[in-house]
Amino acid sequence: MPINLEISKTLATFAQQAHEVAEHVFRPISRKYDRAEHQYPVELDMLAKVMDGMREGAGHGVGAVGRAKHEPTNGAAREVRNGSNMAAVLGMTELCWGDVGLALTIPRQGLGNAAIAAVANEEQMQRFQGRWAAMAITEPEAGSDSASIKTTARLDGDHYVIDGEKIFVTCGERADAIVVWATLDKTLGRAAIKPFVVEKGTPGLEVVRLDKKLGIRASDTATIRLTECRVPRENLLGNPDVGVDRGFAGVMKTFDNTRPIVAAMSIGVACAALERTKELLASEGIITDYKSSFYRAAAAEAELYRLEAELEAARLLTLKAAWMADNGLPNSKEASMAKAKAGRVGNAITLRCVELCSSAGYGETELLEKWARDSKILDIFEGTEQIQLLIVARRLLGKSSDQLK
């Protein structure tokens, strides 16, 4: 069958559902929760229920957003799939067209849920189903360098005892559980790093504070402390053996699957900014009909074309990475390419839109200034742009992390 880069009708219908949610649930409360930082958006409880219904109703409703998983390969020629990864990307793009902060705080759609989906065994999958799981990796002294985390877990009878501090935990206060990454043996480096599901209310788990942020204020970002926190040994996700790179491979696997989703978030917010900017500039006579020769067009019109081309590039790179995951193709490089590109152009687009719209762009009557604040995090979390470039470069150049630091 011929090469085709259009979205199928099924997925387009699905994306449209997500768009409705973004337009009718997120947009009306977008500014409210930007101002009321740390206040729980109660409207989302209703949404979570609706999404559960959608998920049960259709193969993948909007509820499937954030639940991307790697599809197994059968080796033999099989039907090309447009599956859960593409659905997650398209759905998240639409939700973030509505509001990035709110999309991040939809109950039961946490990053921890993605980790569980990627590495949990069957029993764990059952046990943690329906839980809202946050993810805790970053520490005050270990950001991009997640292999050097200091949080420890030691086996004591039927429990692991976890000690350490985690920062930038999205939904850290609101989630039912937190997937905490800790090392079983600091001397073994990344091979000993494992994910543990720590349920809320476990003695020794404490939310220390919530951060005030530049953007995505609707999303709570917590600092948590674990002090002799005992979790059942069966809460260690995946394989407990300290094998070469096994634990860390789990982190990486989670990120291979979620990077395109973060890229999609960036595309969504940039799309919102570009769309609104086009509306506002149209009233000033700037029309983008792709008719003018680029160098004869008004500078503002030409700039809109340029931004749109970059956005389209980010969108297609992201779809490609998700399509590869849906079809069982290794996509670590492509996922990082998509994240790097989408993160940087998404941020650049929202900032340029602020500038193009002048006072309407910078003032709080429009959402443009908010989008420009929200978009910045997408070039940072789940691997900064620079970390993505490192991953891409190492793959291209055949370098280890010791050679290309």
With CB under 8 A as the contact rule, which of the stretches 6-14, 40-48, 136-144, 212-220 interacts with other proteins? 6-14
CA distance 189 to 148: 7
Give the distance, in angstroms, between the CA of residue 403 and the centroid of all CA atoms in the same chain: 29
Contact flag: residue 56 with other proteins (CB under 8 A): no
* Residue 240 Cα distances to 22, 116, 153, 156, 256, angstroms: 40, 15, 12, 14, 21
- Binding residue for other proteins, selected from 309, 330, 362, 401, defined by CB under 8 A: 309
CB of 390 to other proteins, least distance (A): 7
Q: Does 36 bind other proteins (CB under 8 A)?
A: no
In sequence order, the 6+-apart residues with CB closer than 8 A to the CB of 44 are 25, 102, 105, 106, 107
- Strand pairing partners for 169? 222
Cβ-contact 294, 302 below 8 angstroms: yes
Please state the closest distance from residue 372 (CB atom) to other proteins, in A: 22
Angle at 74 between CA 72 and CA 79, to 5 degrees: 90
Classified as helix, coil or strand, 223 is strand
Binding mask 312-331 for other proteins (x = CB under 8 A): xxx-xx-xx--x--------
369 tagged catalytic? no
Candidates 123-131, 226-234, 240-248, 390-398: pick the segment binding other proteins (CB under 8 A): 390-398
**Is residue 290 within the footprint of other proteins (CB under 8 A)?**
yes
Build a one-symbol-per-residue string for 75-104: x at contacts with other proteins by CB under 8 A, - elsewhere.
Answer: -----x-x---x------------------
Piece of 176-184, 239-247, 278-286, 335-343 that binds other proteins (CB under 8 A): 335-343
Amino acid identity, position 89: V
Segment 336 to 355, residues that bind other proteins, using CB under 8 A = 337, 340-341
Task: Check residue 71 for interaction with other proteins (CB under 8 A).
Answer: no
CA distance linking residue 317 with residue 86, whole number of Å: 12
Among 74, 187, 283, 293, binds other proteins (CB under 8 A): 293
Other Cβ atoms closer than 10 A to 312: 12
Q: Could you say whether residue 3 binds other proteins (CB under 8 A)?
A: yes
Query: Looking at 139, 303, 334, 382, which residue is catalytic?
Result: 382
Please list the active-site residues. Answer: 382
